[in-house]
Amino acid sequence: IARFGVGHDGIDKARATAAGLLCTNTPGVLNQSVAEHTMLLIGAAARTLVAMSASMMRHGWDQILGAELEAKRLAIVGCGEIGRAVARIASAGYAMEVVGCCRPDAPAPTALPHFRAVTNDFASAVRSADFVSLHMSASRDNLHWLNRERLGLLGERTWLINTARGSLVDEAALFAALAERRLGGAALDVFAHEPYAPAEQGADLRVLPNVIMTPHVASN
């Protein structure tokens, strides 16, 4: 079984092993694509692109105030190849201040190119962050890793970016944080249920004005 992509959580590897089937994936082929889409979502959030485009389609002319990305703080959670590609574009291309966050049970690297700092302390990594971008794997241990408690560590102006896996985020808790304006916004390419369906009744992310959504196309 050859998975054209990096993620292999959709394959029942225990059954494949029992059947004598070799499973492979194609690591590295989509790093740049996902990194570029991540930066696209960050830029769209900073410049309120979706709202202004929608206004123009309604014959409006709403010149909404945007923000420059230069010197903004980006916390990258997961410092693998895709996370490092995002750091390169954000730092070298936009002059953003990039901070990396590694797994809490692993020692943080002393230094990585394009990162101002790298830590394994999530709270310190996201403190004062303008954007927090997830680049973790979808392991069983990471299910709803970004729960209500960790979402509470993000600031009122912080945007969450997720181009990794939808299962990383407790979407019901995310909806509450966004609806109550405890979080600046969310730009999401991946979801717990795909095609997207709300995690709970009355928690439809599509009704919120501070949400940007794309249909799992970062790697396309």
Of 47, 127, 144, 216, which is the active-site residue? Answer: 216
206 is catalytic: no
CA distances 153 to 35, 91, 125, 146, 181, Å, are 24, 24, 10, 10, 13
Contacts of 62 (CB under 8 A, 6+ apart): 51, 52, 55
In the block, which residue shows the tokens 């999401």? 188
Of 103, 194, 200, 206, the active-site residue reads 194
Q: In whole angstroms, give the CA distance from residue 5 to residue 27.
A: 7
CA distance 82 to 99: 14
216 counts as catalytic: yes
191 in Cβ contact with 164 (< 8 Å)? no
**Is 15 among the residues known to form the active site?**
no
Residue of 165, 171, 193, 206 marked catalytic: 165
Task: Calculate the CA dihedral of residues 102, 31, 146, 127 and round it to 10 degrees.
Answer: 60
Q: How far apart are CA 174 and CA 178, in angstroms?
A: 6
Residue positions annotated with a catalytic role: 165, 194, 216
